Amino acid sequence: MDTKVKVDIAKLRIDGERLWASLMELAKIGATPKGGVCRLTLTDLDKVGRDLVSRWAREAGMTVTIDKIGNGFMRRAGRNNALPPVVTGSHIDTQPTGGKFDGNYGVLAGIEVVRTLNDHGVQTEAPIEVAWWTNEEGSRFVPVMMGSGVFAKAFTLEHAYAAKDLEGKSVKDELQRIGYIGPEEPGAHPIGTYFETHIEQGPVLEDNDKTIGVVTGVLGIRWYDCTVTGMEAHAGPTPMALRKDAMQVAAKLMQEVVACAHRHPPHGRGTVGMVQVFPNSRNVIPGRVKFSIDLRNASDALVETMDADIRAVAARISQESGLPIEIVPVSAYPAQPFHPDCIAAVARAAEKLGYSNMPAVSGAGHDAVYMARLAPAGMIFIPCKDGISHNEIEDAKPEHITAGCNVLLHAMLERAGIAA
């Protein structure tokens, strides 16, 4: 007679205190005086962090596989291990003045899901895996999102290996030094579905008093260098009407970058972050101004519309002022919508658990962007205090940390299935 008590999956919840304790334990590795974390990728501290996370995974009965770019895959077997795994993950490297939660939360939330399933004796049909991705932050080596990018064939392993830091140390040498070049070819690891849980890194959820952001996608990005060319002249003798002031014309266009974003709501973004004024002298009318333009929106079509918008405005300002304006594309990152089934799974879990929620978009890049090229993918956002991230004062409420992980648990179970 089978006396095993059947678990009521609908009532299954993670151990929030255990997850919080794990986050605080990992945050000790590279802890900064202001309460943040400095654990740059492929440093000795990164090795200590990887070793700790690997130990926790093995203690939870998971196997750990490392690939050649140092990505880690921690696996809990399912009933049918021929099925591709349902994967969650993020990164544990930080910015030089990073916080406790960016990336780390996504990895440790995955381990907490596994611990919870173990506690209640729940077997999934498909395997469940938790991944950490190498060098997501890109603060020591570029490109950013390196491990997931190599995995998704966005660039080659050789290109990543050759990247060097400011001291001339290469990714390959540093991976070897800390003992994290594994045998597996990046990308050879199957992924059935991918979820990533993350602090929002922005103020929208907090501003709307919502606990869960159901992420629909990641904004597309276009970067440009814009140059306005006028004529240097003495600031005193030159009358206002006879000036060819590059700064005044550039300032008009800078304002139009912001106005362009407002013309394409709700997800339009327009930013001027860098400005160079030549000759940069207080009594010389600027002869040339070069500045950056960053345009973002939720779809490639909308970004293309913003591109046409700002170019038309620039042409008008150039004609009115008589000064040439050159806009040169620097780089472009396509928008990445997430899979409808994964979005729906997150939304259903949030509703079922009774958490206030809203659709959200990510303005920042995440490893999930590359995973979405390979498999159905989705993300779960929770609020962070004042929307602040990449900062030592980055903070999140324990109840939000718990809520996001509970949503992850139920979304993953929906996709992995419960073994009969």
For 13-41, the pLDDT digits (tens) are 999 999 999 999 999 999 999 999 999 99
Report d(CA 187, CA 196) in Å as an integer.
18
Q: In this structure, how many other beta carbons lie within 10 angstroms of the beta carbon of residue 58?
A: 12
Topology of domain 9-218+335-416, per CATH? Aminopeptidase (3.40.630)
> Is the pLDDT reported for residue 160 higher than 70?
yes
Report d(CA 333, CA 145) in Å as an integer.
13
User: What's the length of the chain?
Assistant: 420
In contact, 197 and 408? CB cutoff 8 Å: yes
Report d(CA 124, CA 146) in Å as an integer.
31
Residue-level pLDDT at 333: 87
> Is the pLDDT reported for residue 314 higher than 60?
yes
> Is the pLDDT reported for residue 4 higher than 70?
no
Domain ranges of the chain: 9-218+335-416, 220-333
User: pLDDT-derived band of residue 59, with 50, 70 and 90 as boundaries?
Assistant: very high
Burial 185-203 (b: 16+ CB within 10 A, else e): ebbebebbbbbbbbbbbbe
- Taking only Cα atoms into account, the Rg of the chain, rounded to an integer number of angstroms, comes to 24
Mean confidence (pLDDT) of the chain: 96
For 79-115, the pLDDT digits (tens) are 999 999 999 999 999 999 999 999 999 999 999 999 9
Provide CATH code, domain 220-333. Answer: 3.30.70.360
Report phi then psi at 296, rounded to 5. -140, 150
The enclosing H or E element of 56 equals helix 44-59
Contacts of 353 (CB under 8 A, 6+ apart): 403, 406, 407, 410
For 328-380, the pLDDT digits (tens) are 998 888 999 999 999 999 999 999 999 999 999 999 889 999 999 999 999 99
The whole-number average pLDDT for the span 317-332 is: 96
Report phi then psi at 378, rounded to 5. -155, 165
| Listed residue (22, 45, 166, 127) closest to 94, CA to CA | 45
Beta-strand pair 275-278/288-297: antiparallel
| Listed residue (416, 419, 418, 365) closest to 193, CA to CA | 416
Residue-level pLDDT at 331: 86
Residue with tokens 């990018």: 149
The whole-number average pLDDT for the span 133-141 is: 95
Strands (E), 219-309: 220-229, 233-234, 269-271, 275-278, 284-285, 288-297
User: pLDDT-derived band of residue 210, with 50, 70 and 90 as boundaries?
Assistant: very high
The whole-number average pLDDT for the span 131-148 is: 95
Residue-level pLDDT at 218: 96
CA angle 326, 226, 319 (to 5 degrees): 45
Report d(CA 182, CA 409) in Å as an integer.
28
Report d(CA 110, CA 87) in Å as an integer.
9
The whole-number average pLDDT for the span 271-280 is: 97
DSSP bridge partners of 49: none
> Is the pLDDT reported for residue 5 higher than 70?
no
Higher per-residue confidence, 390 vs 268: 268
In contact, 88 and 197? CB cutoff 8 Å: yes
> Is the pLDDT reported for residue 2 higher than 60?
no
For 227-259, the pLDDT digits (tens) are 999 999 999 999 999 999 999 999 999 999 999
Beta-strand pair 128-132/72-76: antiparallel
Report d(CA 60, CA 404) in Å as an integer.
21
Which CA distances in Å does 170 have to 40, 134, 146, 163? 14, 14, 13, 5
DSSP bridge partners of 329: 224
Strands (E), 91-235: 128-132, 193-199, 212-218, 220-229, 233-234
DSSP bridge partners of 128: 76, 86
> Is the pLDDT reported for residue 1 higher than 90?
no
Residue with tokens 């658990």: 353
Residue-level pLDDT at 273: 93
